[in-house]
Structure 1
Amino acid sequence: MTPQRPGIAADTSKGFDLMAHDAPSLEALVDDLLARLGDAECVALLHQANPAMPDHGLGAFHTGAEALHGVAWLGTATVFPQPVGMAAAWDADLLREIGDAVGTELRAKRAADPERVSLNCWAPVVNPLRHPLWGRGEEGSSEDPHVTAWCGEAYAAGLRGDDATVWKTVPTLKHLLAYNNETDRCTSSSSLPPRVLHEYDLPPFLGPLASGAAGGIMAAYNLVNGRPAHTSAELYEAVRAAQPDLLAVSDAYAPTNLTGAERAYATDAESHAAAIRAGLDSFTDRDADSSHTVAAITAALEQGLLDVADVRRAARRVLLARARTGEFTPDADPYAHITADDIDTPAHRDLARRAATAQVTVLENRGLLPLRAGSTLAVVGPLATVVKHDWYSGTPPYMVSAADAAGEAHPVTAHDGADRLRLRSRTTGLTLTRAADGALVADQPGDDVVAVTDRGHDMLTLADDATGLLWRGSDDGMVHVDATRPEGWVTHQVFARHVHDDGSWSLQHRGSRRWVRVEAWGGLASSTAEDLAAAERFDVEVVSSGAEEVARAAAGADAVLMVVGNDPHINGRETTDRPSLDLPDAQRRLVEAALAANPATALIVISSYPYTLGDLADRAGAVVWSSHAGQELGHALLDVLDGRAEPAGRLPQTWWADAKHAGDLFDYDIIDARMTWWYSPHTPRYPLGHGLTYGRVEYRDISLPNGLAGPAVVRVANEGDRPAHELVQVYAASTDDRIGRRLLGHQRVVLAPGEEATVPVELHPARLRTWTAARGLDLPATTWRIVAASSAGMAGPSLELTTAPATPDAPLPLPLVAWHAPDWSGVVGVAVDHVRGTAYRARSGAGRLGWPSVEPLPARLAMRLRVTTGLGGDVEIRCGGASVLGTPEQERRGEWHDVVVDCPAPGATSLEVRLTGTVELAEIRQEN
């Protein structure tokens, strides 16, 4: 017998025929299998890459297939609109259909390559779009958490399939939790009061899980209230309340951060033990190499940091996720008929076009749209002739740009708005050119032209004008001219420009931060200069100005489609937040040129996120938004612009008039900061839900014949001369600005010209609930204005309604948990310990907590305090018009300890606490 290390039991089963098992359920099958596995084998199941265990009938397996808006990274697949675009369709049936198609294509990929392709699907992303500067905003659905939950549930339901037992795929919701910043994402802490947690950040996870549409969650990189999300037992418990057997996986390399960047644990054994005990099941770390994970978990068992029962519980959830896909019961798999040919089918192409069309959103229209049939068009701008990919895009079988589609129905002049230049090396006196092997050189006479596109914020892409191929830097310094688009984890196709006093340029490869130089012998250009002083200088000859070419095309056209927006790999993406909400200056200049030449200019914004458009939106003949909508983007745009399809898209998030109105990217306490459309005092440029039809819809009346039990009855009429595809929306706005506004329900309706209709709108009164320590989630005592409107701007007929909690508020007894304070301002959450519990510290040296109704206070109070950073501070208790200070003991720095004070007003029934400095408060209780 092979000796086993302490804590690891020997394998006890050999030759188990898994496929011949006759279990009454998948759960029973998994339990029987788990009983036959040794402890070491269970440990091996907790890494992303599960080894084959032939003695138990188990093949190799790995978690994770990216399927955010189509199957990604596995070759050709149908590419649908980005999730923020899918959400703009406001159509759950459509999202379910898209999810079903993606699930089918993932199954098809697995049929072709079962060892490489997993049916554990890492999608959808259900983090609400709290802030428009988040670099990964394109991956989410909506600023509103309930719309996000609705979209996530629909897409995940399609991915999951309809069979009661076997899942087409196992969708995994990302990222638990409060993850909306890329800057310092592995070390920043999202501070969430319990109301924000339960009312805003948790609902998008709980909806898809409670309905059974999703079977897993991925933990987020960040900390929540000072605790790594990967080791937060409270977060895992919150989602497992909706689905106890869900699989919890780590984000890539996040386990390493626990002992690395986050410095939360001293050893890997401690961090892995803490994560498993908290509720993590699968470690996505170091790619397919499981040795580090296995060693850390084994060490944790040997050191007594972890129980075998914890490991087996996690292994069971891994096995159950595998079993749900039919892996262990292939004869009962209803999806076994899917073959490798079920990719890029005619039905999926049609769905891609329908999906892209449904999300096109008309923001402004001053009579320019729909376009006149056969009119001549100038289709211009950096996104006019291309279709962009994002990091999680698949490889589309074809792509149709705006210019391509416009040319099918109109005479078109197209231009990308790039400046055409010749760059001449001062070292060799020769022009930069593309060598036969693709290298960038300045080694022979020539007149090669470079197309330079300014992406904003000192980001350029440069392309050989003859071939369209982009310059691509590299880690080794070589610069090749061979890229078809910006791409990659590091976007090597981006350069920066330094303009010297004499007008010459030096160029920096942004990926390596090194400067381009040209060798005197051979003329090879490489990004190998360490600083600007060593960089090559290039003399610049302007062949043509992009702005002038845009103006020329615009002047000769009946109408202009000015197509601007972002490249999803530049200035906002995973690892990089957006530097600004403004349209890049270079694009603004192009728009100005088009408008000056032809006022009949439609500003077409193709982007992953909102922009502040300012006066450009005021001056354009129309403003239209689309996400990067995949392979059928161009057809979708022209279907709407030409009027073949009525505009149906509505914004799933706010477009602010001013970037300052969005608030602080790092402030997750949206109640205290008055952020998002729920709480903001600012009037947005375009509210959530905004989007125009070619009809003209008037909202005439709303009634609630059954109160909040619904439905609301909304009377609308189409006063226009075209059919109107209207999204009838019902909102609730509380008179208490700390309760704010909510979307109660919405309903699609198609109105013929001149038609009036009474539209029933299903209501979701649970969305009005607020969280308290005494009652959990319940309706608050407040008065609401219930409004029927076309957007969250809430311009429409309204009525008043009052709600009250199911049970009256009662005075709170001691102990008073600081984090549960009904009133708070200027505080941030900190972890009581590594696994559970939250305390408060002042955000910037001064914070306030309030309890307006408590049971009569005793004569002596004990405050649980700690100081872990800075110089400490005081806690002031105020009640009954008097106050008392409590100061933590400096010699107990880093420890929680009680500081006892005399209550300033024994018998008082309200309490206010002021925090100063860096002191942390966990609770206030009666002295024992």
Structure 2
Amino acid sequence: MAVLRFSIAIFISALVLPVTSVMAQTAPSDEERVEDLLSQMTLKEKVGQVSQFTGFWDVTGPAPTDETQARKAELLKSGIIGSMLNVVGVEEVRPIQEYALNSRLGIPVIFGLDVVHGHKTMFPIPLAEAASWDLDMIEQSARVSAIEAAAQGQTWTFAPMVDISRDPRWGRVMEGAGEDPYLGSRIAVARIRGFQGDDLSAPDTIVATLKHFAGYGFAESGKDYNTVDVGTVTLHNVILPPFKAGVEEADARTVMNGFNTLNGLPVTGDGYLQRELLKGEWGFDGFVVSDWASAREMIDHGYAKDPEDAALKAMEAGSDMDMESYVYLDHLEDLVEAGTLDVALLDDAVRRILRVKFELGLFDDPYKYLDADREAELLLSPAHREASLKMAERSIVLLKNDDDTLPIRKGEKIALIGTLAADKDSPLGNWRAMADDHSAVSVVEAFEAAGLDFVYAEGAVLEIGDAAFPNEVVVNLTDRSGFPEAVEAARNADKVIIVLGEDGLQSGEGRSRSELGFPGVQQELLEAVYEANPETVLVVMSGRPLVLTWAEAHVPAIVQAWHLGQESGHALTNVLTGAYNPSGKLPMTFPRSVGQIPIYYSHLNTGRPGPLTDVFWSHYIDESNAPLWPFGYGLSYTTFEYSNLRARKRGDVVEVSVRVKNTGSRAGEEVVQLYIRDIAASVSRPVRELKDFSKIELAPGKRMTLTFELGAEDLGFYNANGSYVVEPGDFEIFVGGSSDATLSTSFEY
């Protein structure tokens, strides 16, 4: 009987395998399914797919009117809505998806949300994560955020923001990776891979969005939503590389345009950026979404005469989905029927949106993101909080540590001062809508948990009064009543830890600043405390580089702590006590004064770089040209020595090797950074450009030889015509622990 069963099994297999093979060959592909569905859609249904609406509470835009809410309700009942944002949680998402699936064609909705630096478990702000220079950790941070967001029904995040910016007055520097296009590109790829994973159809991945395309970070005077005016060399060499890397290396499935104009043209209506470059030259086959009402804002820019004109110009330029301005919903149908808009452009937009929905697997299982058990299990899980802690530790930058003031020594009596030391909200950062209020671990709580001998004094409140608008911070400018207690605590302590900086809502969208000192009376508090006890450690919580010139000249130790997320207090305590040896490096230059801005390491040399003996060279008469701390800078509790730098040309590749030794008494991590300078080219090149880096860990006394390879893609550049060129010539190489690296060699290519 065993032989008979075996023979039957072979016979059945012989029958089944060919049938399976034929089925696999004849099953329609996603592209075929897209085209079939598109052919069945009415004009109204197509317009529904390219229109996106917020839920019944708004985050980044103006508060909705009752009329608007009623209209949204009717649109939901019609079942033709293509996308919604700010609808979160299985209980909220499911009924909307059910409305869509009960429509004529049953096209599922894609749900978007700003998952910027965490979801329920908050991670450090992106600028802080960039300071880690740890690409694996950054990818893991995005992975955890995606897992939590997907568990609450989200299929799409409006992140990462990859805008390069050289101006810390701009509040949204907290949301990006800083000033450098190479570092920004590597981080963009890491975050997209974290969000999208290896399989976009898995129930724990979400679609990533590259934003804002393009130039938003170069807003004049650092003022949000402001004009951008840059040359083609800057556009192609500085602004565009992270977008290109995100599309070509990480396959980001959506791109968001922006609020700004670029050289006089609103980017939402810029056909060169969206159609020629992104969808043409780069081959992007996902879809472009506008920023919040940016299509309608083209009227205010003076580019569109009315909402109908705005709809026409945005669609013709390649903006596929309109977020919350209603110009597509109100006018595309009429424009197509009148023959003013080619229906092929609308079809292309719908096709791109449907493609991403198929890639997410929503047509096969539209409810796969809606699992209440998974939602309850994954949010704020211990594993996610541990990942947040590790990311936060690596994001902290030690800026100054004279006479080994840090780490805190056993038995020292500490005065812990500053309202931010007890704050359980500000460390959560700006984009924290999904986090529980007061859920961050404060420094006070972490000090208590670590068993440190300390006394806490508030010193001065940062925020007072009732704000005129939600999420606005009203700063204390007059109340110094807590100064005496803080000064007394400092006087009686062995060491002072004073935590100053910005409220978590003083940086971010719409929060540009004209001055970059400590808000309110905090600087006065710092000076009073320092006078009482010079053994002072300054911990700076902020969403941007601040001007810390006085502190650098006086305070012996300074720690840049950013806004570190859920486990902020524990991460800071681990660094201050030496349980974790700081390894962060600055992703943005710190200025000495606001007057130096924009200040960045990769500047051009000018024709009169100086210094000269007279005044006729490029400088200030009242300030140094040098930054307070340069890009790539950061100290450790140990020291590193660089030597044996060599460059060898092997065919088309330049092989660069360098030896790094831990010369201190502690194990530590170092970010080894490689910069080049093109000595003479057809376009003036920066004095230095970051081209590679590696984060290593060395035990005391140990050394390592690192090898980097530079190819033509690393040595070329975009010229004024936007063409990439590689020119022969002489190059310098600099390797070290910051952009001020002095170890150098040269080669001819």
Question: What band does the TM-score fall into relative to the shorter chain?
Answer: 0.7 to 0.9
Partner residue of 1:548? 484
- Which protein shows a greater Rg? 1
Q: What is the alpha-carbon distance in structure 1 between the residues aligned to residue 717 and residue 282 of structure 2?
A: 19
Q: What is the alpha-carbon distance in structure 1 between the residues aligned to residue 489 and residue 665 of structure 2?
A: 32
Higher relative contact order (CA 8 A, sep 6+): 2
Name the CA shift for 1:719/1:190 in 2 (closer, same or farther; >3 Å): same
Residues 737-768 of structure 1: CA deviation (Å, up to 9, x unaligned): 93012112111111111122212235465344
Q: What is the alpha-carbon distance in structure 2 between the residues aligned to residue 233 and residue 662 of structure 1?
A: 31
For the pair 1:171 / 2:197, whether they are aligned, the reply is no
Residues 517-559 of structure 1: CA deviation (Å, up to 9, x unaligned): xxxxxxxxxxxxxxxxxxxxxxxxx8x7333222111112221
Partner residue of 1:242? 282
| AA of the residue aligned to 1:634 | G
Partner residue of 1:381? 418
Residue 710 (structure 1) shift: 4.8
| AA of the residue aligned to 2:442 | S
Q: What is the alpha-carbon distance in structure 2 between the residues aligned to residue 643 and residue 148 of structure 1?
A: 29
Q: What is the alpha-carbon distance in structure 2 between the residues aligned to residue 591 and residue 773 of structure 1?
A: 48
Partner residue of 2:725? 778
1:629 to 536, 554, 564: 564
Partner residue of 1:645? 580
For the pair 1:733 / 2:677, whether they are aligned, the reply is yes
Partner residue of 2:76? none
Residue 416 (structure 1) shift: 2.1
Q: What is the alpha-carbon distance in structure 2 between the residues aligned to residue 335 and residue 661 of structure 1?
A: 51
**Local SS of the residue matching 1:130:** coil
1:586 to 521, 525, 549: 521
Give aligned pairs, total. 651
Identify, as 1 or 2, the structure richer in strand: 1
For the pair 1:788 / 2:735, whether they are aligned, the reply is yes
Q: What is the alpha-carbon distance in structure 1 between the residues aligned to residue 430 and residue 490 of structure 2?
A: 33
| AA of the residue aligned to 1:158 | G
**Local SS of the residue matching 2:140:** helix
1:758 to 696, 705, 708: 705
For the pair 1:88 / 2:82, whether they are aligned, the reply is no
Name the CA shift for 1:794/1:203 in 2 (closer, same or farther; >3 Å): same
Residue 141 (structure 1) shift: 0.9
Q: What is the alpha-carbon distance in structure 2 between the residues aligned to residue 194 and residue 203 of structure 1?
A: 13
| Maintained 8 Å contact 1:269/1:299 | no
| Maintained 8 Å contact 1:143/1:652 | yes
Of the structure 1 ranges 610-619 and 582-591, higher mean CA displacement relative to structure 2 is found in: 582-591
Partner residue of 2:363? 328
Q: What is the alpha-carbon distance in structure 2 between the residues aligned to residue 338 and residue 792 of structure 1?
A: 49
Partner residue of 1:494? 474
Residue 495 (structure 1) shift: 6.3
For the pair 1:285 / 2:265, whether they are aligned, the reply is no
Q: What is the alpha-carbon distance in structure 2 between the residues aligned to residue 186 and residue 548 of structure 1?
A: 39
1:253 to 284, 287, 293: 293
Q: What is the alpha-carbon distance in structure 2 between the residues aligned to residue 64 and residue 225 of structure 1?
A: 30
1:110-189 alignment runs, 5 A limit: 110=153, 118-163=154-199, 168-180=205-217, 181=219, 188-189=226-227
| AA of the residue aligned to 2:162 | V
| AA of the residue aligned to 2:169 | L
1:446-845 alignment runs, 5 A limit: 453=461, 461-462=463-464, 471-474=465-468, 488=471, 491=472, 494=474, 545-570=481-506, 572-584=507-519, 586-663=521-598, 682-706=625-649, 709-735=653-679, 738-740=684-686, 741-763=688-710, 766-772=713-719, 776-795=723-742, 797-803=743-749
Name the CA shift for 1:380/1:774 in 2 (closer, same or farther; >3 Å): closer
| AA of the residue aligned to 1:715 | R
Residue 372 (structure 1) shift: 0.6
| Maintained 8 Å contact 1:249/1:283 | yes
Partner residue of 1:827? none
**Local SS of the residue matching 1:787:** strand
Residue 660 (structure 1) shift: 2.2
Residue 265 (structure 1) shift: 1.6
Name the CA shift for 1:295/1:163 in 2 (closer, same or farther; >3 Å): same
Of the structure 1 ranges 183-192 and 587-596, higher mean CA displacement relative to structure 2 is found in: 183-192
Partner residue of 2:262? 224
Name the CA shift for 1:626/1:768 in 2 (closer, same or farther; >3 Å): farther
Residue 247 (structure 1) shift: 1.1
Q: What is the alpha-carbon distance in structure 1 between the residues aligned to residue 573 and residue 225 of structure 2?
A: 44
Residue 302 (structure 1) shift: 3.1
Residue 230 (structure 1) shift: 0.4
Q: What is the alpha-carbon distance in structure 2 between the residues aligned to residue 36 and residue 22 of structure 1?
A: 21
| Maintained 8 Å contact 2:501/2:541 | yes
| AA of the residue aligned to 2:669 | H
Q: What is the alpha-carbon distance in structure 1 between the residues aligned to residue 255 and residue 547 of structure 2?
A: 34
Partner residue of 2:51? 47
Identify, as 1 or 2, the structure richer in helix: 2
Residue 373 (structure 1) shift: 2.1
Q: What is the alpha-carbon distance in structure 2 between the residues aligned to residue 234 and residue 358 of structure 1?
A: 39
Residues 681-712 of structure 1: CA deviation (Å, up to 9, x unaligned): 83222111111111111111211234672542
| Maintained 8 Å contact 2:233/2:720 | no
Residues 342-388 of structure 1: CA deviation (Å, up to 9, x unaligned): 21111101101001111111011111111112422111123111140
| Maintained 8 Å contact 2:400/2:559 | yes
| Maintained 8 Å contact 2:392/2:568 | yes
Residue 269 (structure 1) shift: 2.1
Partner residue of 1:295? 330
For the pair 1:356 / 2:399, whether they are aligned, the reply is no
Q: What is the alpha-carbon distance in structure 1 between the residues aligned to residue 339 and residue 732 of structure 2?
A: 58
**Local SS of the residue matching 1:651:** coil
Q: What is the alpha-carbon distance in structure 2 between the residues aligned to residue 255 and residue 672 of structure 1?
A: 39
Residue 496 (structure 1) shift: 7.6
Name the CA shift for 1:672/1:783 in 2 (closer, same or farther; >3 Å): closer
Q: What is the alpha-carbon distance in structure 2 between the residues aligned to residue 247 and residue 226 of structure 1?
A: 24
Q: What is the alpha-carbon distance in structure 2 between the residues aligned to residue 413 and residue 319 of structure 1?
A: 59
Partner residue of 2:454? 412
1:313 to 339, 342, 348: 348
Gaps of 5+ in 2: 1-24, 54-79, 82-99, 608-617, 620-624
2:441 to 386, 400, 411: 400
Residue 645 (structure 1) shift: 0.9
Residues 192-211 of structure 1: CA deviation (Å, up to 9, x unaligned): 22111110111011111112
Partner residue of 1:481? none
1:845-924 alignment runs, 5 A limit: none
Q: What is the alpha-carbon distance in structure 2 between the residues aligned to residue 84 and residue 274 of structure 1?
A: 34
Name the CA shift for 1:606/1:762 in 2 (closer, same or farther; >3 Å): farther
Q: What is the alpha-carbon distance in structure 2 between the residues aligned to residue 600 and residue 773 of structure 1?
A: 53
| AA of the residue aligned to 1:256 | R
- TM-score (ref. length: structure 1): 0.66
Q: What is the alpha-carbon distance in structure 1 between the residues aligned to residue 292 and residue 110 of structure 2?
A: 13
**Local SS of the residue matching 1:408:** helix
Q: What is the alpha-carbon distance in structure 2 between the residues aligned to residue 24 and residue 704 of structure 1?
A: 53
Residues 75-109 of structure 1: CA deviation (Å, up to 9, x unaligned): xx100000001111111111111111111111111
Name the CA shift for 1:574/1:769 in 2 (closer, same or farther; >3 Å): same
Name the CA shift for 1:604/1:210 in 2 (closer, same or farther; >3 Å): same
Partner residue of 1:36? 40
Residues 257-281 of structure 1: CA deviation (Å, up to 9, x unaligned): 122x112122322221111111111
| Maintained 8 Å contact 1:330/1:336 | no
Q: What is the alpha-carbon distance in structure 1 between the residues aligned to residue 124 and residue 746 of structure 2?
A: 39
| AA of the residue aligned to 2:311 | H
Partner residue of 2:112? 64
**Local SS of the residue matching 1:170:** coil
Partner residue of 2:150? 107
Q: What is the alpha-carbon distance in structure 1 between the residues aligned to residue 586 and residue 159 of structure 2?
A: 21
Name the CA shift for 1:380/1:109 in 2 (closer, same or farther; >3 Å): same
Q: What is the alpha-carbon distance in structure 1 between the residues aligned to residue 366 and residue 306 of structure 2?
A: 45
| Maintained 8 Å contact 1:183/1:576 | no
